[in-house]
């Protein structure tokens, strides 16, 4: 056995993998599995985006680009921030990376020292704590319950901040809950953060465009522009344009922090893929109708799934504000079936009725499951029918 670094031993393999691996194994054995575990849109990347990458390939754009992204993609990102978010950035405030996840990784590597604390509201996106741990920092989880709409309050944030706090993650709309913060709620958090000038804010806007209802998207710097000089705005094309495999994410933020993130990237992956950058540019500059169409499909499915889940005994589900996830509490179901943990419940659901879900404990919220509705209405109806069957089996 080779002796491994302390660093790698600090982190856990994703608990979601256990369910995905079991689902794959059951499928290989010929079982009919309905997968509601996907973290990506089920739609294909829109044609004009694919064509832009094909054109770039034909033009021979197959070489290194600047580490921080092509001049023209960065210009498209600057236009996007201005158009959608009312934010003004210069090119030296923008870094393009190989997916939103790399932007977050670069940020943590560039900002955090051992002993630093990172405030992470739960339910959280699975990777925040592990990326913080890899940087030697300590995740400080602040839990928001279903009763609170899965949103933390200013008082909770204040209580979590210590002299060691360097970074706070905000993710709205959220993976896994679909909950979005209102302008008022963000203002409350901003008031707390204003009192702690050493704390950097990471606003992960990855699901900005998958927002239901009539209220426009807002992030913390929209309600508190004075915090912009210590906020990193994280976004990417993965979810909005169904481009998860292309691996393009980007960050806008303070010059010296972006330069430091670029330095980390220059010694790890260098530039993101040249032709994927051309595709991302077409996505950001092109017709946005595709985004609207995907969003309304997700909104329609959200209603269908949440209504279906709430009609099942032992499941209580909030209507998400956006994303393609909802995050029902399933403690009633666990009790009825005499199952102790959400991990055991997801295993049994897979085994007994062939429905794959991700356990809430993967997101720091035991007693829940994440349901992805990035799949067809037929599959969703089938999953609901099977969940009803499971309840019938155990009552």
Strands (E), 74-173: 94-97, 117-122, 138-143, 165-171
- Which stretch in 30-38, 52-60, 236-244, 280-288 sits in contact with ligand PLP by CB under 6 A? 236-244
Q: How far is the CB of 31 from ligand PLP (least distance, A)?
A: 26
Per-residue tokens: 292: 């609207």
Distance CA 249, CA 28 (A): 33
Per-residue tokens: 100: 């939103």
Per-residue tokens: 321: 């504000």
Q: How far is the CB of 249 from ligand PLP (least distance, A)?
A: 4
- Residue placing its CB nearer to ligand PLP in the complex, 100 or 354: 100
Nearest to 143 by CA among 388, 371, 386, 368: 368
Q: How far is the CB of 169 from ligand PLP (least distance, A)?
A: 9
Strands (E), the chain: 34-35, 94-97, 117-122, 138-143, 165-171, 200-204, 231-236, 249-252, 325-326, 355-356, 358-359, 369-372
Q: How far is the CB of 270 from ligand PLP (least distance, A)?
A: 17
String marking each residue 172-201 x if it binds ligand PLP according to CB under 6 A: ---x--------------------------
Can you state the angle between helices 274-285 and 71-85, rounded to 10 degrees?
30
Residues in 63-102 that interact with ligand PLP by CB under 6 A: 99-101
Distance CA 71, CA 69 (A): 7
Nearest to 132 by CA among 123, 122, 119: 119
| CB 106 within 8 Å of CB 258 | no
- Residue placing its CB nearer to ligand PLP in the complex, 74 or 247: 247
- Number of neighbouring beta carbons within 10 Å of residue 255: 12
String marking each residue 132-171 x if it binds ligand PLP according to CB under 6 A: ---------------------------------------x
249 binding ligand PLP? (CB under 6 A) = yes
Instruction: Kindly tell me the sign of the dihedral angle through the C-alpha atoms of 200, 201, 204, 205.
Output: negative
Q: Which of 81, 89, 105, 125 binds ligand PLP (CB under 6 A)?
A: 125
- Residue placing its CB nearer to ligand PLP in the complex, 165 or 175: 175
Q: How far is the CB of 182 from ligand PLP (least distance, A)?
A: 19
236 binding ligand PLP? (CB under 6 A) = yes
Q: How far is the CB of 204 from ligand PLP (least distance, A)?
A: 5
Q: How far is the CB of 81 from ligand PLP (least distance, A)?
A: 17
DSSP string, 333-375: HHHHTT---HHHHHHHHHHHH-EE-EEGGGGT-TTBEEEE--S
The residues with which 117 forms a beta bridge, in sequence order, are: 138, 165
String marking each residue 25-64 x if it binds ligand PLP according to CB under 6 A: --------------x-------------------------
DSSP 3-state of 33:
coil
Cβ-proximal residue to ligand PLP, closest one? 99
Long-range contacts of 260-267 (CB under 8 A, 24+ apart): 260/110, 260/111, 261/95, 261/103, 261/106, 261/107, 261/109, 261/110, 262/67, 262/68, 262/95, 262/106, 263/110, 264/105, 264/106, 264/109, 264/110, 265/67, 265/68, 265/95, 265/97, 265/102, 265/106, 266/67
252 binding ligand PLP? (CB under 6 A) = no
Q: Which of 204, 208, 281, 342 binds ligand PLP (CB under 6 A)?
A: 204
- Residue placing its CB nearer to ligand PLP in the complex, 171 or 274: 171
- Residue placing its CB nearer to ligand PLP in the complex, 101 or 209: 101
Site size for ligand PLP (CB under 6 A) = 13
- Residue placing its CB nearer to ligand PLP in the complex, 146 or 238: 238
Q: How far is the CB of 207 from ligand PLP (least distance, A)?
A: 7
370 binding ligand PLP? (CB under 6 A) = no
- Residue placing its CB nearer to ligand PLP in the complex, 242 or 384: 242
Binding region for ligand PLP (CB under 6 A): 39, 99-101, 125, 171, 175, 204, 206, 236, 238, 244, 249
């Amino acid at each position: 056995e080779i002796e491994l670094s302390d660093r790698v031993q600090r982190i856990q393999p994703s608990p979601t993998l256990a369910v995905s691996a079991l689902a794959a194994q059951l499928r290989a054995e010929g079982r009919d599995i309905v997968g509601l575990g996907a973290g990506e849109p089920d739609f294909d990347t829109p044609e004009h985006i694919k064509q832009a990458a094909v054109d770039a390939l034909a033009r021979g754009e197959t070489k290194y680009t600047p580490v921080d992204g092509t001049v023209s993609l960065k210009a498209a990102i600057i236009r996007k921030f201005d158009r959608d978010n009312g934010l003004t950035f210069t090119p030296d405030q923008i870094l393009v990376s190989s997916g939103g996840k790399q932007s977050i990784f670069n940020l943590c590597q560039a900002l955090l020292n051992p002993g630093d604390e990172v405030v992470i509201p739960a339910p959280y996106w699975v990777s925040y704590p592990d990326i913080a741990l890899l940087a030697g920092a300590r995740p400080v989880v602040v839990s928001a319950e279903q009763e609170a709409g899965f949103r933390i309050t200013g008082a909770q944030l204040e209580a979590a901040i210590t002299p060691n706090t360097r970074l706070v993650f905000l993710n709205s709309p959220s993976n896994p809950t679909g909950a979005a913060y209102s302008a008022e709620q963000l203002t409350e958090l901003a008031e707390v953060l204003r009192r702690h000038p050493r704390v950097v804010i990471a606003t992960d806007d990855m699901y900005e465009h998958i927002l239901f209802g009539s209220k426009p998207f807002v992030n913390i710097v929209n309600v508190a522009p004075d915090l912009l000089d210590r906020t990193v705005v994280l976004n990417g094309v993965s979810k909005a344009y169904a481009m998860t495999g292309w691996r393009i994410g980007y960050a806008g933020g303070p010059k010296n922090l972006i330069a430091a993130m670029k330095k980390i990237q220059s010694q790890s992956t260098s530039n993101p893929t040249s032709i994927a950058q051309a595709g991302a540019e077409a996505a950001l500059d092109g017709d946005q109708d595709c985004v609207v169409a995907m969003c309304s499909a997700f909104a329609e499915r959200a209603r269908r799934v949440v209504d279906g889940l709430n009609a099942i005994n032992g499941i209580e589900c909030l209507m998400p504000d956006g994303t393609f996830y909802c995050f029902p509490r399933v403690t009633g179901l666990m009790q009825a079936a005499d199952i102790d943990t959400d991990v055991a419940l997801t295993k049994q659901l897979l085994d007994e009725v062939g429905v794959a879900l991700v356990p809430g404990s993967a997101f720091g919220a035991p007693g829940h499951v994440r349901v992805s509705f990035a799949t067809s209405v037929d599959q969703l109806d089938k999953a609901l029918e099977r969940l009803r069957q499971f309840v019938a089996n155990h009552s």
